[in-house]
Structure 1
Amino acid sequence: MPNATARVFVRLLPWTSPDGDPCFLAGDGTGYVSRVADRIEEEQLSSADDLIDEARHMLAGRAWTPGELHLLAVELTASLADVRRVAESRGGRLTALGPSSVNT
């Protein structure tokens, strides 16, 4: 018998469908897919940190080619989209928990 007091949340997942549409998960946040999503979010945030360091190093050198700048812009854009998705997902989960869960 399911736990009647368990809360079900809808979570924005850190990946999209093959068509580029957002993917969502309904659950209590403790299942296998939630753990995979948590791990992917952490990897995306870690990648963003690495890319920021790389961008700072490259730009500080002031000796880049247009191709290098273009590649950096592409990678930064993709990473920013990932980080924004993580922020939206986590913000949505905080909102679902209610105002007492958000420190102001």
Structure 2
Amino acid sequence: MSLTSQVRLLPWAGPEGNPCYLSSDGGGFISRLADNMEATQLGLAGEVMEEAQRVLVGRAWTSGELQLLAVQLTEALANVHRIAVSRGARLPLNADEDRDALDDEGDVM
């Protein structure tokens, strides 16, 4: 089994900006905290998207307002990307992929 299928990429970074991972069955406090944070991040991303849509069809905006929106969109996109990577890594493999993974590790079937 690969490292990414054994651990969960958490939706926050460590003190030095490095990714944080959790090894668990998915039912503990940290897993629930990560689930809640992901839901919050996805909700905020939706709000920023709505704001961007208003900006793009609304009045003339200052360069400062557009810069702030660009920063918020970048942060939201980074959070959504991290969530997608984390959830994708936790998807179950189909039977053929399981067999290929075992073959790659040199295990006899």
Listed as ranges, the matches of 1:69-84 within 5 Å are: 69-84=66-81
Higher relative CO (Cα under 8 Å, sequence separation at least 6) belongs to 2
Q: Percent identity?
A: 54
How many residue pairs match? The answer is 91
Matches of 1:77 and 1:66, distance apart in 2: 16
The structure whose residues are more often strand, as a share, is 1
Deviations 1:18-53 (A, max 9, x none): 100000000101111000000000000000001000
Aligned to 1:98: 93
Matches of 2:7 and 2:65, distance apart in 1: 40
Aligned to 1:47: 44
Q: In the TM superposition, what is the alpha-carbon distance from 1:9 to its structure 2 partner?
A: 3.1
Give TM-score scaled by structure 2 length. Answer: 0.80
Give TM-score scaled by structure 1 length. Answer: 0.83
Gaps of 5+ in 1: 1-7
Aligned to 1:37: 34
Gaps of 5+ in 2: 96-109
SS of the counterpart of 1:29?
A: coil
Matches of 2:84 and 2:71, distance apart in 1: 20
Write out the 4+ residue segments of structure 1 that deviate beyond 4 Å after TM superposition. none
SS of the counterpart of 1:88?
A: helix
Matches of 2:87 and 2:20, distance apart in 1: 14
